């Protein structure tokens, strides 16, 4: 009988987001511009030569290990795991063998994988019931946000000065606009200014914000919390919003979360203060934001990932124009 993972939190992750494959990737990229076929051959030879060498953690490893740990709370007789992790890689099965060996060596409870030999990983996310896909490939991440098949993000490099993360909780930190919520309010901020943004958000504080690319992920995490012990403040999954919004634009956020019937453990309305200062204290296993100005500093200390705008996004065009005029 086919397995149904619709009630399980399914994380899809590329091999390069799970493990540090930067050296192998460097071999491929150095040759790709000269001769793509030679690049593939040399990459294959490199992976085979180093097949038995351990791999270092990628940015997504702390999150994956913590999420897999949630399955210890699975109720007796419950056939659906709380969390499932699937490796979905553009490696071929042969070059991906090193990844499989490393998963086995570490004893990670990852049993499903797909190696697509260069085809887009994003094509297979729906088939695996994926709720969140973490990758280092921008084209795959863009496809995810454009098709809306699930939440997706490009992981930044692993933190240079990582903080010790809790092993009894999984901590998610989300930016608000253009991540959890739609980009409409941020578009007003970028085009008409902060005063206009505050005015509209205050006037519409009772009107829920539109859903953003990670809204369904937040809902799924909330459902997962219900399957875990210690609901609310003591849940093994802790959710935080880390936003540059402040008064009078904060009430609309809380009203929206209530409308979605989702419980958020912590919310930080920072009013322009640097998010990295608060992320160091919160210590998330992953932080999602849409702007590099926040991510570049945060990624030095905590695992971080960028949420892309849809290809037809007006906000994407605004930021591109601002960058061109710098």
Flag whether pLDDT at 81 surpasses 80. yes
Same domain, 175 and 315: yes
Alpha helices in 227-291 (DSSP H): 251-259, 275-282
pTM of the predicted model, to two decimals? 0.93
- Which pLDDT band, with edges at 50, 70 and 90, does 232 fall under? low
Instruction: Evaluate if residue 236 carries a pLDDT over 70.
Output: yes
pLDDT score of 33: 60
**pLDDT the model gives residue 325:** 78
pLDDT digits (tens, 9 = 90+) for 157-170: 999 877 788 888 99
Same domain assignment for residues 93 and 199: no
One domain, residues 78 and 142: yes
CB 174 within 8 A of CB 262: no
Give the pLDDT score at 26.
76
Domain boundary among 155, 189, 221: 155
pLDDT at 193 over 90: yes
Structure token digits, residue 211: 């859903």
Tell me whether residue 1 is in a domain.
no
Q: Which residue has the higher pLDDT, 36 or 294?
A: 294
| 165 assigned to some structural domain | no
CA 271/CA 283 separation, integer angstroms: 20
The domain total for the chain is 2
132 and 192 share a domain?
no
pLDDT at 111: 94
State how far the Cα of 231 lies from the Cα of 250, in Å rounded to an integer. 25
274 and 302 inside one domain: yes
Share of the chain above pLDDT 70, in %: 96
- Is residue 2 assigned to a domain? no
Q: Is 247 exposed, middle or buried (0-12, 13-18, 19+ CB in 10 A)?
A: exposed
Closest Cα partner for 171 from 65, 311, 317, 277? 65
Tell me which residue of 21, 13, 221 sits closest to 108, measured CA to CA.
13
Measure the CA–CA gap between 252 and 245, rounded to whole angstroms: 10
Q: What's residue 92's pLDDT?
A: 87
Average pLDDT over the chain, rounded to whole? 91
Band of pLDDT at residue 231, cut at 50, 70 and 90: low
Cβ 75 vs Cβ 1: under 8 Å: no
- Measured between alpha carbons, how far is 194 from 191 in angstroms, rounded to an integer? 9
SS3 39: helix
pLDDT at 179: 98
- For residues 181 and 317, membership in a common domain is answered with yes
Residue 157 burial by CB count (10 A; 0-12/13-18/19+): exposed, middle or buried? middle
Query: Is pLDDT of 248 > 90?
Result: yes
Pick the last residue of a domain from 155, 190, 207. Answer: 155
State how beta strands 83-89 and 112-115 pair.
Answer: parallel
Do 200 and 264 belong to one domain?
Answer: yes
> What does the DSSP 8-state code read for residue 248?
T
In terms of domains, do 267 and 204 share one? yes
CATH number, domain at 131?
3.40.50.1000
- At 195, list the tokens: 């005063």
Q: Report the pLDDT averaged over residues 139-159.
A: 96
> How does residue 31 score in pLDDT terms, banded at 50, 70 and 90?
low
Please report which confidence band the pLDDT of residue 324 belongs to, taking 50, 70 and 90 as the band edges.
Answer: confident
Q: The domain containing residue 253 runs over which residues? A: 170-324
Same domain, 130 and 217: no
CATH code, domain with 256 = 3.40.50
The residue to which tokens 């459902």 are assigned: 223
Has residue 32 got a pLDDT over 70? no
List pLDDT tens digits, range 104-135. Answer: 999 999 999 999 988 999 999 999 999 999 99
């Amino acid at each position: 009988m086919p397995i149904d993972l619709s009630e399980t939190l399914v994380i899809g992750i590329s091999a390069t987001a799970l493990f540090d494959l930067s050296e192998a990737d460097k071999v491929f990229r150095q040759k790709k511009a000269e001769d793509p076929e030679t690049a593939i051959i040399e990459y294959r030879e490199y992976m085979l030569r180093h097949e038995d060498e351990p791999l270092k953690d990628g940015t997504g490893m702390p999150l994956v290990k913590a999420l897999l740990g949630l399955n210890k709370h699975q109720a007796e007789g419950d056939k659906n795991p709380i969390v499932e992790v699937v490796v979905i890689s553009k490696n071929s099965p042969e070059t991906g063998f090193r990844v499989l060996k490393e998963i086995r060596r570490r004893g990670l409870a990852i049993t499903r994988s797909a190696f697509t030999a260069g085809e887009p990983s994003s094509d297979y996310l729906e088939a695996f019931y994926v709720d969140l896909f973490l990758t280092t490939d921008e084209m795959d991440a863009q496809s995810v946000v454009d098709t809306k098949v699930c939440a997706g993000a490009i992981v930044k490099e692993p933190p240079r000065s990582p903080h010790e993360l809790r092993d009894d909780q999984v901590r998610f930190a989300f930016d608000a606009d253009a991540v959890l919520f739609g980009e409409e309010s941020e578009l007003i901020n970028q085009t008409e200014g902060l005063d206009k943004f505050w005015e509209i958000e205050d006037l519409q504080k009772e009107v829920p914000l539109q859903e953003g690319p990670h809204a369904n992920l937040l809902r799924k995490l909330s459902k997962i919390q219900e399957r875990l012990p210690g609901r609310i403040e003591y849940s093994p999954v802790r959710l935080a919003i880390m936003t540059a919004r402040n008064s009078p634009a904060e009430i609309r956020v809380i009203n929206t979360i209530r409308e979605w019937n989702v419980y958020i453990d912590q919310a930080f309305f920072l009013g322009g203060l640097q998010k990295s200062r608060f992320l160091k204290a919160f210590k998330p296993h992953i932080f999602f934001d849409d702007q590099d100005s926040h991510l570049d500093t945060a990624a030095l200390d905590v695992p971080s990932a960028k949420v892309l705008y849809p290809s037809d996004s007006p906000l994407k065009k605004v930021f591109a124009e601002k960058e061109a005029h710098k």
